[in-house]
C-alpha cells in the first residue's frame, strides 16, 4: 500500500470516528436533568410557580427538572451560580424581579443582570397584597396608615431582605403615605410572612403566591391587594388604590433566564416549552390560583422589560435611599 493511500485511509477512519462521536452526543435535553436554580426560599411565590411550570415543561421536553433553592444574600449567591454555569441549556434560573432589577442596584454583584443572563421568558407577574396577623387591630389600610402616623417609628414591617421586593413595596407605600416605619429584614419572603403570622412584625407586603396558604389557613389577614383592580380569587378584598392611595400598584415577576452564551436554539426551545405549558388549562389554573397573572413573553419582549424595570427601580431605590444592611 503506497503512502498516499495510507494517508487517505487514515483520514477516512479519523473522519468516521469524529462523525460517530458527534452522532453519539445526545441532542439537548436528552443527556441529563435540567437544573433550575431558585435564589429564593422554598415556598416563595417563584418557587411555588416554578414547581407547577416545570412539571408541565418536563412533559413537553421529555426531561425532568431538578429545582434547587439557594436563598440568602438577597439572591446574590444563587444568581451567581446561574451566571457562572456552563451555557449548555442544563442550568436555568427561576428568578423574581428583585434578583434582576433591585438587588444589583443596591449590592455589589459578581455578575451583571443585563449582560450575564439570556432572557428566556417572563412567565407571569405575581400579584401582591398587604398582610397582617389575623387578630391585628388593623382592619383596613386606612387603620394601618392612621396607626403608623400616630406612632412614628414604632410600627415595623418584615421583608425578604434589604432590596427585596417586600422591602421596596413597603418603602414605596410608606413614602406615598408619609409614614415612618422600621424595616426588619429576614432571609427570604417565606420567613418574613411567617414573622407577620407570628406577630414578630406588624405587617408586610407579600406576593400572594407566597401567602395564599397562610391566608386560606387563617394565619394571615389580607388587608388589600396592590393590583389595579380587585382580584377574582379575593373579590371582597379592596385594592390599595381604593383604600386611600390612588394608583398604587406593585407586583413581581416569575422569570426564566439562562447563562450568557446559551445557544439560541436552546433558548427558543425553552420559550416554546413555556408557551406550551402555559396553554395547558390545569397549569394555568394552578398558577392563577397562586395569585399569578400569566404572561409568557418572548425572549425579546422580556429583554426589553428587563431593561426598563432595571432603570425604573434604580430611580425608586435612589429616591428612597435604600441601602444594603
pLDDT > 90: percent of the chain: 71
User: How many other CB atoms sit within 10 Å of the CB of residue 16?
Assistant: 10
CATH code of the domain occupying 127-243: 3.40.190.10
Cβ atoms of 136 and 221 within 8 Å: the answer is yes
CA dist., res. 103 & res. 97, Å (int): 9
Mean pLDDT, to the nearest integer, of 205-231? Answer: 93
pLDDT for 62-95, tens place per residue?
Answer: 999 999 999 878 889 999 999 999 999 999 999 9
pLDDT band at 25 (very low <50, low <70, confident <90, very high): low
Q: Classify 34-123+252-319 by CATH class.
A: alpha beta
CA dist., res. 176 & res. 158, Å (int): 18
pTM above 0.85, yes or no: no
Name which residue leads in pLDDT, 324 or 4. 324
CA dist., res. 231 & res. 119, Å (int): 28
The structural domains of the chain, with segments of one domain joined by +, span 34-123+252-319, 127-243
Per-residue pLDDT for 5 more than 60? no
- pLDDT at res. 1: 54
Mean pLDDT, to the nearest integer, of 208-233? Answer: 93
Mean pLDDT, to the nearest integer, of 258-277? Answer: 98
Indicate if 127-243 has the same CATH topology as 34-123+252-319.
yes
pLDDT band at 325 (very low <50, low <70, confident <90, very high): low
Amino acid at each position: 500500500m503506497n503512502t498516499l493511500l495510507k494517508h487517505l485511509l487514515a483520514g477516512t477512519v479519523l473522519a468516521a470516528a469524529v462523525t460517530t462521536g458527534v452522532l453519539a452526543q445526545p441532542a439537548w435535553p436528552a443527556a441529563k436533568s435540567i437544573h433550575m436554580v431558585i435564589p429564593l426560599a422554598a415556598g416563595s411565590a417563584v418557587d411555588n410557580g416554578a414547581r407547577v411550570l416545570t412539571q408541565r415543561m418536563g412533559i413537553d421536553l421529555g426531561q425532568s427538572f431538578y429545582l434547587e433553592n439557594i436563598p440568602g444574600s438577597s439572591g446574590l449567591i444563587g444568581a451567581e451560580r446561574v451566571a457562572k454555569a456552563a451555557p449548555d441549556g442544563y442550568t436555568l434560573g427561576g428568578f423574581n424581579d428583585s434578583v434582576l432589577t433591585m438587588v444589583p442596584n443596591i449590592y455589589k454583584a459578581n455578575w451583571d443582570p443585563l449582560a450575564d443572563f439570556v432572557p428566556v421568558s417572563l412567565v407571569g407577574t405575581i400579584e401582591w397584597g398587604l398582610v397582617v396577623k389575623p387578630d391585628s387591630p388593623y382592619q383596613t389600610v386606612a387603620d394601618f396608615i392612621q396607626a403608623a402616623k400616630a406612632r412614628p417609628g414604632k410600627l415595623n414591617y418584615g421583608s425578604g431582605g434589604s432590596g427585596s421586593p417586600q422591602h421596596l413595596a413597603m418603602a414605596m407605600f410608606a413614602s406615598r403615605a408619609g409614614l415612618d416605619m422600621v424595616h426588619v429584614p429576614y432571609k427570604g419572603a417565606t420567613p418574613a410572612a411567617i414573622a407577620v403570622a407570628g406577630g414578630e412584625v406588624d405587617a408586610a407586603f407579600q406576593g400572594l403566591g407566597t401567602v395564599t396558604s397562610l391566608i386560606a389557613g387563617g394565619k394571615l389577614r389580607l388587608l388589600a391587594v396592590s393590583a389595579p383592580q380587585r382580584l377574582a380569587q379575593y373579590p371582597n378584598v379592596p385594592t390599595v388604590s381604593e383604600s386611600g392611595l390612588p394608583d398604587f400598584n406593585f407586583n413581581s415577576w416569575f422569570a426564566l433566564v439562562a447563562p450568557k452564551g446559551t445557544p439560541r436554539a436552546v433558548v427558543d426551545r425553552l420559550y416554546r416549552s413555556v408557551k406550551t405549558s402555559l396553554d395547558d388549562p390545569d397549569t394555568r389554573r394552578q398558577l392563577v390560583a397562586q395569585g399569578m397573572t400569566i404572561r409568557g413573553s418572548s425572549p425579546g419582549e422580556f429583554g426589553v422589560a428587563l431593561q426598563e424595570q432595571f432603570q425604573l427601580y434604580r430611580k425608586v431605590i435612589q429616591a428612597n435611599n435604600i441601602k444594603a444592611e
